Amino acid sequence: MNYQILDVDNYFDQAEACYTVCVLWHGGQDSLLYELQCRIDFEPGHSWSETQVENENEYFSMFEDFVQNNEEAKLQLFVEELEHYFENRED
């Protein structure tokens, strides 16, 4: 499968950025961003910081742009591609 958004070499950084955008921008438990946040298999550690991700993760602005431009479908596509990658990758 050719992924449209997922970069398999940098999937962790992308997942962290997408997760952070979902955390910062979701509109409550009934929102798509909240659903996507829950679907991303990302568990931040105790030293994780949203601000640090905003400032240091190169993918943050891309995912934030999706939300600001009302392109949440791209976030959903990323999450689906990420799920597909984990379901089909060989360890």
pLDDT band for position 91 (50/70/90)? low
Please tell me the predicted confidence (pLDDT) of residue 43.
86
Structure tokens at 78: 């990323």
Structural domain boundaries of the chain? 8-88
pLDDT digits (tens, 9 = 90+) for 32-82: 999 999 999 888 889 999 999 999 999 999 999 999 999 999 999 999 999
Would you state the structure tokens that stand for residue 55, as one six-digit string? Answer: 């400032």
- pLDDT over 80 (residue 90): no
Q: Which residue has 């360890």 as its token pair?
A: 91
pLDDT band at 27 (very low <50, low <70, confident <90, very high): confident
Burial class of residue 22 in the structure, from the number of CB atoms within 10 Å of its CB (0-12 exposed, 13-18 middle, 19+ buried):
buried
